[in-house]
């Protein structure tokens, strides 16, 4: 059986034709496979490269977004002596833009770097530069007006404190004295001021002046343009004069209910050289001013938390 079966099966052989056909088929298929393997390898490499490219794009976007977030000012601080300068402050409390609103402002900013540092340092730098360039008089009569422009009360307070500290330091270092006046306004006011080409700080002062003037004479109007080039000192003086006029008037009318406060107020205003915080005043003058503001209409965003100090 063994040998018979073997010899029988030995006759069964793969014919040459089949072998050749198979050889050809195998060669073709394997070659194709190798190519497809290669392309697959390349495909994966391509996918890898694509992934890398996408990752790079995302990273760039994130970086760009981060930079955008860094470079976008959320609040502003405007500094007016007469050089009017506005600083843009980003979310991190760093100054990212510094813009001169008038020729003097540009002059103050030239040659100094006020960006990339915190508000205190930036204000310090600018006041320092202003002092060097002769914008601050030696007699202490110059008024430095700092206005925080933001919708957030907490930020406003912080910006004001920092800016004041910076201005004070710079003044002390230069042996100068000036009246540092800080205030804050809503961001909406900024757009209004921009249209007029003045800083919101100055606009604020002009509007205050208008309010004061209207308190004594409801028909009085203030032409913003005439004041836009005036120094803060000059505007402040006019405000004080107007206020005094009202106070005088108020004193003449007499105030039965709140005489003491009124007197205190009067004395404070009368004493120009030693004007102390009057943000707590409840006198006639202030209430009248408020009334007038309301009458004037649209001026409600004037912040009433302003206070005025005189730095010696």
String of contacts with another protein for each residue 29-68, x by CB under 8 A = xxx-xx--x---x---------------------------
Dist. CA 227–CA 235, nearest whole Å: 7
For the chain, report the end-to-end CA distance as a whole number of angstroms. Answer: 129
Cβ distance to another protein smaller for residue 28 or 173:
28
Dihedral angle, C-alpha 145, 149, 150, 154, nearest 10 °: -10
Cβ distance to another protein smaller for residue 31 or 49:
31
Shortest CB 117 distance to another protein, Å: 58
Can you list the alpha helix ranges (DSSP code H) found in the chain? 2-10, 16-71, 103-109, 119-132, 153-173, 187-196, 200-216, 224-228, 232-253, 259-270, 284-296
Which of helix, strand or coil describes residue 178?
coil
Told to check if 253 binds another protein by CB under 8 A, we report no
Residue whose structure tokens are 């760009």: 64
Cβ distance to another protein smaller for residue 34 or 110:
34
Shortest CB 47 distance to another protein, Å: 18
- Using CB under 8 A as the binding criterion, the count of chain residues that bind another protein stands at 27
Cβ distance to another protein smaller for residue 27 or 51:
27
How distant, in Å, are the alpha carbons of 19, 212, 240, 255, 280 from that of 216?
Answer: 118, 7, 13, 16, 22
Q: What does residue 138 show for φ and ψ, rounded to 5 degrees?
A: -75, -20
Shortest CB 38 distance to another protein, Å: 9
User: Which residues from 125-154 bind another protein, rule CB under 8 A?
Assistant: none
Segment near another protein (CB under 8 A); pick from 19-27, 64-72, 127-135, 189-197: 19-27
Segment near another protein (CB under 8 A); pick from 14-22, 182-190, 230-238, 242-250: 14-22
Shortest CB 33 distance to another protein, Å: 7
Segment near another protein (CB under 8 A); pick from 18-26, 56-64, 170-178, 200-208: 18-26
Helix (H) or strand (E) holding 11: none
Segment near another protein (CB under 8 A); pick from 17-25, 52-60, 192-200, 209-217: 17-25
Among 21, 45, 50, 132, binds another protein (CB under 8 A): 21
Which of helix, strand or coil describes residue 249?
helix
Shortest CB 42 distance to another protein, Å: 13
Cβ distance to another protein smaller for residue 27 or 68:
27
Which of helix, strand or coil describes residue 287?
helix
Dist. CA 162–CA 121, nearest whole Å: 9
Residue 150 makes CB contacts below 8 A (sequence gap 6+) with 74, 75, 76, 156, 159, 184, 186, 187
Which residue, among 148, 232, 224, has the nearest Cα to 186 in the 3D structure?
Answer: 148
Segment near another protein (CB under 8 A); pick from 8-16, 137-145, 174-182, 218-226: 8-16
Shortest CB 12 distance to another protein, Å: 5
User: Which residues from 68-97 bind another protein, rule CB under 8 A?
Assistant: none
Site for another protein, rule CB under 8 A: 1-2, 4-9, 11-14, 18-19, 21-23, 25-27, 29-31, 33-34, 37, 41
């Amino acid at each position: 059986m063994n040998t018979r079966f073997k010899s029988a099966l030995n006759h069964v052989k793969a014919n040459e034709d089949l072998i050749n056909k198979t050889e050809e088929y195998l060669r073709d298929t394997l070659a194709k496979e190798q190519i497809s393997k290669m392309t697959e390898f390349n495909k994966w490499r391509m996918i890898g490269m694509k992934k890398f490219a996408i990752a790079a794009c995302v990273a760039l976007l994130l970086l760009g977004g981060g930079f955008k977030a860094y470079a976008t000012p959320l609040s502003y601080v405007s500094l007016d002596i007469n050089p009017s300068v506005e600083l843009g402050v980003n979310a991190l409390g760093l100054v990212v833009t510094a813009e001169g609103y008038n020729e003097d402002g540009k002059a103050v900013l030239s040659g100094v770097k006020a960006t990339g540092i915190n508000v205190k340092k930036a204000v310090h730098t600018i006041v320092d530069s202003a002092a060097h360039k002769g914008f601050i008089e030696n007699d202490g009569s110059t008024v430095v007006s700092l206005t925080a422009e933001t919708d957030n009360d907490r930020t406003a307070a912080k910006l004001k404190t920092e800016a004041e500290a910076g201005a004070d330091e710079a003044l002390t270092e230069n042996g100068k004295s000036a009246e540092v006046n800080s205030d804050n306004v809503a961001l909406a006011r900024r757009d209004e001021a921009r249209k007029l080409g003045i800083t919101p700080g100055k606009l604020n002062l002009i509007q205050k002046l208008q309010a004061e003037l209207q308190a004594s004479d409801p028909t009085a109007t203030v032409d913003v343009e005439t004041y836009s080039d005036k120094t803060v000192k000059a505007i402040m003086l006019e405000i004080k004069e107007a206020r005094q006029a009202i106070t005088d008037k108020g004193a003449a009318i007499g105030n039965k209910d709140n005489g003491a406060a009124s007197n205190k107020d009067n004395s404070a205003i009368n004493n120009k050289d030693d004007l102390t915080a009057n943000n707590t005043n409840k006198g006639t003058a202030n209430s009248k001013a408020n009334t007038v503001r309301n009458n004037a209409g649209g001026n409600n965003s004037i912040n009433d938390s302003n206070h005025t100090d005189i730095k010696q």
